[in-house]
């Protein structure tokens, strides 16, 4: 309003300025209603122009939008080279009709975030998501649980052996039975590494998908089609950059794996090997002289 007065000498009220902004936004991005009307056509073109892409949209009997999700063909192909663990999270949209944006990601061979699929729904269903140890830990802090109990929980969640997990949980029960009961309300299979029925590949939190949420923070305020455009451009740039970097390597492993191997080799040079038996030799850290 001050800018209009300064540039054009016009005095306008707040509501008139707000309506003008909304009108300009609709002319540039389309109205929210128009975006939803074209959603099915948009998904059809996305699938036809991007080989291997999968899309799905669900509407009710009154032709009202319920949910949709999609995965680009490049993401589907790249999944074959990722860790077989998927992190899923949902974040609220800030456009006129709200809803949630659901994102699933994994980690590729270079230990980088790899976007897999996106979905939009009216609301988030908590039954569809597992429990992350980060969120459990934050809940413990909000409940004013003692720091030593939280450390025991962290150890219990990350330990590899089930026997050691039971010992840590037993220690928690001895000190704070209420916290023990609270933790056991969620099946340990959903948050403890040693209890997981499948391999977790060192992915115990949803931090990677929350990082993706932050990247898309600006897009969440856009109409649905403009938001999907934003996501597409972002993924195109990432995949192009990562592909070029990968093509410059001279090894059969990724750059991250190469660096990790170098660290292990450097560490190995600091160890001593002492022979005791014909089949076994203890290894110890090298001490200073």
Residues 102 and 210 in one domain: yes
- Which of 212, 194, 185, 197 is closest to 87 using CA atoms? 212
Q: What is the DSSP string of 142-186?
A: HTT--HHHHHHHHHHHH-S-HHHHHHHHHHHHHH-HHHHHHHHTS
**pLDDT value, residue 1:** 64
**59 in a structural domain:** yes
Q: Is residue 86 in some structural domain?
A: yes
126 pLDDT more than 50: no
Residue 82 forms part of a structural domain: yes
Please write down the long-range contacts of 184-191, taking CB distance under 8 Å and 24 or more positions apart.
186/131, 186/136, 190/130, 190/131, 191/130, 191/131, 191/132, 191/133, 191/136, 191/157
Residues 40 and 74 in one domain: yes
Residue 188's domain comprises 133-195
Contact (CB, 8 A) for 43 and 53: no
Q: Does 47 lie in the same domain as 123?
A: yes
Residue-level pLDDT at 192: 83
Q: Does some domain include residue 49?
A: yes
pLDDT in tens, 242-269: 888 888 877 778 888 888 889 999 988 8
State the total domains in the chain. 3
258 falls within a domain: no
Look up the pTM and report it: 0.62
Domain presence at residue 54: yes
The pLDDT confidence band at residue 66, using thresholds 50, 70 and 90, is confident
Residue 247, by phi and psi: left (phi above 0), alpha (psi -120 to 50) or beta?
A: alpha
Same domain, 83 and 163: no
Cα dihedral sign, 33-35-39-45:
positive
CA distance 247 to 232: 22
- Dist. CA 258–CA 119, nearest whole Å: 35
- Same domain? For 137 and 115 the reply is no
In terms of domains, do 98 and 187 share one? no
CB atoms within 10 A of CB 235: 15
Asked whether residue 9 falls in the same domain as residue 36, the answer is no
Q: Which residue has the higher pLDDT, 16 or 235?
A: 235
In a domain, 13, yes or no: yes
Does pLDDT of 95 surpass 80? no
Is residue 106 domain-shared with residue 226, that is, in the same domain? yes
Q: Are residues 161 and 72 in the same domain?
A: no
Q: What was the pLDDT predicted at 75?
A: 93
Residue 53 shares a structural domain with residue 106:
yes
Quote the pLDDT of residue 130: 43
Residues 65 and 151 in one domain: no
pLDDT of 166-220, one tens digit each?
Answer: 999 999 999 999 999 999 988 888 788 788 776 655 665 667 777 887 888 888 8
The backbone region for 196, taken as left when phi is positive above 0, alpha when psi lies in -120 to 50, beta otherwise, is: beta
213 within some domain:
yes
Residues 137, 95 share a domain: no
């Amino acid at each position: 309003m001050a800018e209009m007065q300064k540039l054009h000498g016009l005095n306008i009220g707040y509501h008139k300025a707000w309506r003008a902004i909304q009108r300009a936004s609709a002319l540039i991005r389309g109205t929210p209603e128009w975006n939803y009307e074209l959603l099915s056509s948009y998904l059809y073109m996305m699938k036809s122009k991007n080989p291997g892409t999968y899309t799905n949209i669900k509407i009710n009997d009154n032709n009202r939008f319920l949910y949709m999700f999609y995965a680009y063909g490049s993401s589907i192909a790249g999944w074959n080279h990722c860790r077989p663990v998927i992190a899923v999270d949902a974040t609220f949209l800030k456009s006129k009709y709200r809803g949630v944006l659901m994102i699933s990601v994994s980690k590729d061979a270079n230990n980088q975030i790899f976007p897999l699929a996106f979905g939009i729904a009216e609301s988030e269903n908590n039954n569809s998501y597992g429990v992350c140890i980060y969120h459990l830990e934050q809940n413990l802090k909000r409940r004013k649980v003692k720091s030593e109990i939280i450390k025991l929980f962290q150890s219990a969640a990350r330990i590899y052996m089930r026997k050691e997990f039971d010992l840590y949980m037993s220690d928690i029960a001895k000190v704070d039975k209420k916290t023990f009961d609270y933790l056991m309300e969620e099946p340990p299979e959903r948050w403890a590494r040693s209890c997981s029925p499948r391999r977790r590949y060192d992915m115990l939190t949803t931090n990677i998908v929350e990082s993706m949420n932050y990247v898309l923070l600006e897009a969440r305020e856009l109409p649905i089609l403009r938001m999907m455009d934003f996501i597409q451009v972002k993924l195109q740039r990432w995949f192009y950059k990562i592909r070029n970097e990968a093509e410059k390597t001279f090894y059969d492993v990724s750059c991250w794996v190469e660096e990790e191997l170098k660290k292990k080799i450097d560490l190995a040079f600091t160890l001593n090997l002492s022979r005791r038996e014909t089949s076994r030799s203890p290894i110890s850290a090298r001490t200073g002289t």
